[in-house]
Amino acid sequence: MPAEPAPPERTWVRIGQVRRPHGRRGALLVDLDEPGRLRHPWTWFSAIGPAGEVQTFHVRRVRPHGRGVLVEVEEIGSWEAAAALRGAVLYVTPEERVPLEADEYYNEDLLGCTVVDVRLGPIGTVVDVYDLGYQHLLALRGRTGRMVLVPFRKVFVTAVDVAAKVIQVDLPQGWLELYEGS
């Protein structure tokens, strides 16, 4: 069994949020941020409840349920106990995530990256990543403060250095002007 996790820190990864309790034995209906990106079976996770309290839970079972997953944990045995976690945000360490293939990135690793165009230099910072199913969109806070959307595709993204928090892009001429109004 892995060592008990410490309270979530900046190195921890948000995996989802408890939508509601499910069933009289206290399963948790969880909306995952990125389904399929966790090792199975998970062994534990930490939750930050509505009042900011941190709790650690040992996972007994996980199974799909509609648009979410049902998570049964050792520490919860009733609907009432599970109801206390409604809205809690769930975290794991990076080791609990599925290893990535080459040229794959976790959305949370892209947040805060500076986006640098090959011709224009720095054009903004990634503030969100939208998963559209067929592609991801980087949402940047642009140079003028306006939101700029950049498809996260090889045709636009030429290099990613997660450790340095830099994404290099080669945007078509006039792309930024569409957002900046220049």
Q: How far apart are CA 33 and CA 15, in angstroms?
A: 5
Close Cβ partners of 60 (under 8 Å, ≥ 6 residues apart): 72, 73, 74
Mean pLDDT over 31-56 rounds to 75
**According to the model, what pLDDT value does residue 164 have?**
97
Is 136 exposed, middle or buried, given 0-12, 13-18 or 19+ CB atoms closer than 10 A? Answer: middle
Domains and CATH numbers, the chain: 13-96 (2.40.30.60), 107-180 (2.30.30.240)
Q: Which pLDDT score is estimated for 125?
A: 97
Name the pLDDT band for 3 (thresholds 50, 70, 90).
very low
pLDDT at residue 5 is higher than 50: no
Q: Is the pTM of this model over 0.75?
A: no
Q: Looking at residue 103, what is its pLDDT? A: 85
Q: How many residues does the chain have?
A: 182
Please say whether the beta carbons of 67 and 53 come within 8 A: no
